[in-house]
Amino acid sequence: REGGMFKVLQVADMHYADGRSTACEDVLPEQVAGCSDLNTTAFLYRVLRAEDPDLVVFTGDNIYGADSTDAAKSMDAAIAPAIAMNLPWAAGIGNHDQEGTLSREGVMQHLVGMKNTLSRFNPEGVEIDGFGNYNLEVGGVEGTLLANKSVLNMYFLDSGDYSTVPSIPGYGWIKASQEAWFRKTSSSLQKNYTSQQPSQKEPAPALAYFHIPLPEFSSFTASNFTGVKQEGISSPSINSGFFTTMVEAGDVKAAFIGHDHINDFCGKLTGIQLCYAGGFGYHAYGKAGWSRRARVVSVQLEKTESGEWQGVKSIKTWKRLDDQHLTTIDSEVLWNRGSNGRGGKDHDRS
């Protein structure tokens, strides 16, 4: 935008099924009558109008396959508000999207074929696990020296559904092939940013989006995060090392997930903010009286004294609740240039 801002709205766990005929879960007794998937749609329209994001990111369990008569139709209905408002959007898949009439591969193929989508199936020519591993590059302000450079990188990974290894119970995880792709992509983006003209001193910051939490999301106590933890962390039962890979790469400043609907916290570990969005959809488990919500991330560019736009200066976040006033809560600074490089101090809470 002209003001040097780029805004992303994250929508986690819509759990969309068949629209009006699909009942809500975990709402107050007085909300039950007439509550359906259409409440999820109405909330999405409200928050899109209020925030007017530059990009909408759907982080999986967009539909609840098992309750949906036609997975493709459910996906179309779930994403419809973003398309109707002509907003660019990107999606990944969770562990419930493929439980209906489309396979995981089929769900991702459908998403990639929809209008206004920036989702990609997988990188071309790369042997990689899962579906929906891709990256997006956000260019600087048009007409400036950084217009053709990516000042912000976004990585999307398929965190899988359930373990396919008999001796390992529970959820899926990000595999070695995906980590190798991430490492290579991150390294190449950083090299381009710092070496190609106009060369930049530090790599551009990056955000990562996927569905299932990493085991490291269990590292926090109530004293060192913003938001709430109201249920256990449903991560895979093994640690495949992706968090360490992100730390080593050095560009990812925050990772955003869904999956555990009544957790909505952000906590910082080894220089990376680990953030839940909080559940969005009404046909998804939640907590009666605890509003459905969405997470917004606002990335602000730096401006020199001479008025020239530079790279990213700060990354902020807040959440929007589906209450009467569409309340904004838990605004905080996730990252500031210069304040949390490696070995930096954690003085970046607003």
Q: What is the mean pLDDT of residues 93-115?
A: 98
Helices (H) and strands (E) in the chain, counts: 6, 13
Q: Within a domain: residue 350?
A: no
Could you count the other beta carbons within 10 Å of the beta carbon of residue 158?
26
CATH number at residue 179: 3.60.21.10
Rounded Cα distance between 212 and 238, Å, is 13
Q: Within a domain: residue 238?
A: yes
What confidence score (pLDDT) does residue 350 get? 40
Banded pLDDT at 286 (limits 50, 70, 90) = very high
Residues 111-159 have pLDDT tens digits of 999 999 999 999 999 999 999 999 999 999 988 889 999 999 999 999 9
Q: Within a domain: residue 341?
A: no
Q: Which domain holds residue 295?
A: 2-336
Least confident of 6-20, 78-92, 187-201, 232-246: 187-201
For residue 219, the one-letter residue type is S
**Does 314 score more than 90 pLDDT?**
yes
Whether the link from the prior residue into 198 is cis, omega within 30° of 0, is yes
% residues pLDDT > 70 (the chain): 97
Are 173 and 159 in contact by the 8 Å Cβ rule? The answer is: yes
Are 52 and 6 in contact by the 8 Å Cβ rule? The answer is: no
Q: Within a domain: residue 31?
A: yes
Give backbone dihedrals phi and psi of 27, rounded to 5 degrees, phi first. -120, 165
Return the half-sphere exposure (C-beta side, CA atoms, 13 A cut-off) of residue 140.
21
Rounded Cα distance between 299 and 314, Å, is 6
What confidence score (pLDDT) does residue 145 get? 87
Query: Does the predicted TM-score (pTM) go above 0.75?
Result: yes
Residues 243-269 have pLDDT tens digits of 999 999 999 999 999 999 999 999 999
Q: Within a domain: residue 172?
A: yes
Give the count of domains, the chain: 1
Q: Within a domain: residue 202?
A: yes
Q: Within a domain: residue 344?
A: no
Are 88 and 119 in contact by the 8 Å Cβ rule? The answer is: no
Q: Within a domain: residue 343?
A: no
